[in-house]
Structure 1
Amino acid sequence: MGLSTHVLDTMHGSPAAGMAVALYTTQGDAATLVRRFVLDADGRSPEGPLYADGELKAGTYRLVFDVAAYFEAKGVALPKPAFLDRVTLDFGVASPQQHYHVPLLVSPWSYSTYRGS
């Protein structure tokens, strides 16, 4: 049923509009870029699902969220180097007929993720 993501900025209590994200397929240590995008006002991909119904395949994937650049653009003074620069989430898709939603809750100092619905 596809793949989607959603990012919430827990420091400001809002969607992470403007955060850059990259999606990769992975095989072992090798990663192949699928696409890059910038989150919309709701903290989601502006083009909808990252993979639509029927396009998602069983395998391993990686989402990379450009956290430090996002918070710097929001005017947050970060130490150099930032505690979190990019957040990388590696995850597996075992049942591509199901929907995989990968949300990220993030601040400059912490993050949390889970398999959403």
Structure 2
Amino acid sequence: MYVSLQALDGIYGKPAAGLHARLERSVEGRWSTVANAATVENGTIASFVEGQLAPGLYRVVVDSDLYFSGLGFSAAYAEIVIPFRVRAEPYARQVQVLLTPYSYSLYFGDRA
């Protein structure tokens, strides 16, 4: 399974370019970083890793604090954590997040 991220800045209604995120995997109850990335101009991270993810429990951690402090705002949520499970399936999934300093909305589903 492949996982991508698409982020939209809810203040300005535009892609959230430069938003830092990391993909982590739970290994024996501890979170281990798999990859670090930042969204490009269109607000996306096409894929955190090359190839398929091994089955297991993962999470995407979005650094909303760094993003909003760069815009002169203080974020209520320093990080947005999106946990999900990977099974042995060849599908591509997308995490979509709409974020503002005091709220966020998520979608996790098929990548078109």
TM-score range, shorter chain: 0.7 to 0.9
In structure 1, stretches of 5+ residues that fail to align are: none
Asked if structure 1 preserves the Cα contact closer than 8 Å seen for 2:17 and 2:41, the reply is: yes
Is 1:67 the counterpart of 2:64 in the alignment?
A: yes
Which runs of 5 or more structure 2 residues have no equivalent in the other structure?
none
What does 1:40-55 align with in structure 2 at a 5 Å threshold? 40-45=40-45, 48-52=46-50, 54-55=51-52
In the other structure, the counterpart of 2:96 is 103
Distance 2:15 2:88 in 1: 28
Please identify which structure carries the higher strand content. Answer: 2
Report if the CA contact (8 A) 2:52-2:90 is conserved: no
Partner of 2:18: 18
Q: CA RMSD in A?
A: 1.7
Which amino acid in structure 2 is aligned with residue 40 of structure 1?
V
8 Å Cα contact 1:56/1:96 also seen in 2: no
1:60-107 deviation digits (Å, cap 9, x = unpaired): 11111110110110122x2xxx41111111111234311111111111
- Equivalent pairs, count: 110
Structure 2 Cα separation of the partners of residues 84 and 13 of structure 1 = 19
2:106 is aligned to: 113
Q: Distance in 2 between matches of 1:70 and 1:34?
A: 21
Matched, 1:4 2:4: yes
TM-score, normalising length from structure 2?
Answer: 0.86
1:110/1:96 CA distance change after superposition, 3 Å: same
Stretches (4+) displaced over 6 A: none
- Name the SS of the counterpart of 2:68 in structure 1: helix
3-state SS in 2 of match to 1:115: strand
